[in-house]
Structure 1
Amino acid sequence: MGDDELAEIRRRRMMEMQQQAASQQDEAERQRQYDAQIHSVLMQILEPEARERLNTIRLTKPDFARSVEQQLVMLAQNGRIKNKINDEQLKVILKQVTPAKREFNIRRKG
C-alpha cells in the first residue's frame, strides 16, 4: 500500500466523519426546535401549577412525561382543549394515562 493510497483512505475517512458530525448537528437542531415547539404549546395550554407538576414528573420519569406532553400537544392541535388545564385536571389526565400496576402475591406452601 503506497503513501498515495493511505492519503486517499485518510481523506475519505475524514470526509465521512465530517458528514456524520454535520448530520448529528442537524438532528440535534431539529430536536431543539421540536422541544421548543412543544414547550410553547404547553405554556399556552397549562397553568403554572400543572406545568410544575409535569416538570416534577419529568425529573423522575422522563419517558412518561414526554409521552404525556405529546398527548397534550396532540389534543391541543386537534382543538380538544378549550381552556387552560389546571393542576387538578392534569392529575385526572395522569391517572387515566398511567398504566395499571400489577400486584403480585407470593404464597409459601408448607
Structure 2
Amino acid sequence: MDDAELEKIRQARLEQLKAQGGGGAGKASPGGGGGDPGQRQEQEAEARQSILNQILQPEAADRLGRIRLVKESRATEVENRLIMLARSGQLRQKVTEEQLKELLNAVADTRAEEKIVVSRRKGWDDDDDDLFDL
C-alpha cells in the first residue's frame, strides 16, 4: 500500500514538474527578463528538495544535510544519484541512513581521490648561510 501511494505521489509530482518546466521555458525564451533564471533555479531547487523529502527517511536527510555543510559537491553528487534512482524506479522504499552510507561509499570509491603533492626545490641556494659568517 505504501508503494502504491508513493508511486501516485511520484506521478503527480512528475506531472507538476513537467507543467512548470514547459511553462517556464516558454516564458523565459521570448521575454529574456532578468528575473526568470532566478525563479527557474528556485523552482528546480524546490523540486529537488521535494523529491528528496519523498525518498529519504528523516535520519538520512539529516546526514545528507550534514554532508552538505562539509562538502557541498559530494552532497550534490549523492542527491543527483538518488534522484536518478528514484526517477528510474529503482527505489522501492525510502532510503535509510545505512543505505545512504553505502551510497556515499560507492561515490567515494568511484571518485578519484584528491591528492596534495608537495614538490620541494632541489639544490637550494645556501646564500642565506653566508649572512651569518660575520
Q: Mark yes or no: TM-score above 0.5.
A: yes
The structure showing larger relative contact order (alpha-carbon pairs under 8 Å, at least 6 residues apart) is: 1
Residue number in structure 2 paired with 1:84: 94
Residue type at the aligned position of 1:56: R
Name the CA distance, whole Å, in 2 between partners of 1:88 and 1:45: 14
Q: How many residues align?
A: 86
Matched, 1:54 2:53: no
The Cα of 1:66 is off from its aligned counterpart by: 1.1
Kindly report the root-mean-square deviation, in angstroms, between the aligned alpha carbons of the 2 structures. Answer: 2.2
- Cα distance, 1:101 vs. partner? 3.0
* 1:49-107 superposed Cα distances (whole Å, 9 cap, x missing partner): 00000000111111221111111111101100001110001000000001253678x9x
Secondary structure of the residue that 2:69 maps to in structure 1? Answer: helix
Q: Does 1:38 align with 2:41?
A: no
Match of 2:85 in 1: 75
- 2:123 maps to none
Separation in structure 2 between the aligned mates of residue 40 and residue 103 of structure 1, nearest angstrom: 36
Name the CA shift for 1:102/1:48 in 2 (closer, same or farther; >3 Å): same
Change (3 A) 1:33 1:103: closer
Which stretches in structure 2 are left out of the alignment for 5+ residues?
1-30, 119-134
Match of 1:101 in 2: 113
- Tell me how far apart the structure 2 counterparts of residues 67 and 31 of structure 1 sit (CA, whole Å): 17
Name structure 1 gaps, 5 residues minimum. 1-18
TM-score normalised according to structure 1 size: 0.69
